[in-house]
Amino acid sequence: MKERQSWRDVRDQIQARLLNGTYAMGDRLPRDEDIAAELGCARSTVQRAMQDLADAGRIDRRRKGGTQVKHSPVTRATFDIPLIRAEVEAKGARYAYRLLSRDLGLPPPTVAASMELPTTAQALHVRALHLADTRPYVLEDRWINPETVPEILSVDLAAISANEWLVRNRPYSRFDLAFCALRAGPEEADLLQIPVGEALFVTDRTTWLGAASITLVRQIAVPGYRIATRS
């Protein structure tokens, strides 16, 4: 006799399909009753699983409108990975972006260790500046694992930021996050158009798909930057 599935079992199976691209961003999911028939469980079990995914920010549930995978999924446990364009535009400012450098090579040992990469593995190093009303807003220093995100090598990162492309195109299963402050050195001061020694807000984040790293990024924000969370 087949073991009865809990709503958590069903949620995990649907989540796996979201992560492997079976249900891509923007896709409409099958009806609850169709998923229930496929997985051999009650429709109420599927509904409970779907509600949990909706609460986590992975899908949109609309009465009489069906269920759709979010175009910009978020994780709501502690922190939403920000889409910097949307953040700037929400402030009523005009967003712009400038690619500073893009290189494929061996990352420093500290980066390789944080991303759990072999010492011989290459990664894509991207440095970029996000602007609000032509003024520097966030300086970004990012490493991307091409084994997990092979498509990134063909993306025109002068036209779209890695932040925006990854948020819209690469689901993640978890992330590591840390905040700190630092004093602006000569390079940061020049790029952010601030005095040397100015206090800066720094976010360090690594995202993962299962056991594989996706990206490690340091984002350095201008003085006065604020971040908010929801629970």
Q: Greater confidence, 126 or 66?
A: 126
- Please, which pLDDT band fits residue 231 given cuts at 50, 70 and 90? very low
Mean of per-residue pLDDT scores for the chain? 88
pLDDT of residue 81: 73
Quick one: pLDDT at residue 74? 54
Q: Alpha helices, DSSP H only, in the chain?
A: 7-20, 32-39, 43-55, 84-90, 109-114, 162-169, 186-192
> For 188-200, what is the mean pLDDT?
95
**pLDDT tens-digit series, residues 2-60:** 567 788 889 888 988 888 888 888 889 999 999 999 999 999 999 989 988 887 788 88
What is the reported pLDDT for 8?
Answer: 83
Residues 26 and 120 in one domain: no
Residues 102, 139, single domain; the answer is yes
For residue 38, the enclosing domain spans: 7-69
- Number of domains present in the structure of the chain: 2
**Is 75 inside a domain boundary?**
no
* Domain harbouring 166, CATH code: 3.40.1410.10
Indicate whether 162 and 106 sit together in one domain: yes
Say yes or no: 92 and 165 in one domain: yes
| 77 located within any domain | no
The predicted-structure confidence for 218-230, as pLDDT tens digits, reads as follows: 999 998 877 665 5
3-state secondary structure 33-73: HHHHHHHCCCHHHHHHHHHHHHHCCCEEEECCCEEEECCCC
Q: Does the pLDDT at position 82 exceed 90?
A: no
What are the φ/ψ torsions at residue 163 (nearest 5 degrees)?
-55, -50
What CATH number is associated with residue 63? Answer: 1.10.10.10
Highest mean pLDDT among 76-85, 151-160, 175-184: 151-160
Domain C-terminal end among 41, 69, 97: 69
In this structure, the answer to whether residues 211 and 103 fall within a common structural domain is: yes
Q: What is the mean pLDDT of residues 101-113?
A: 96
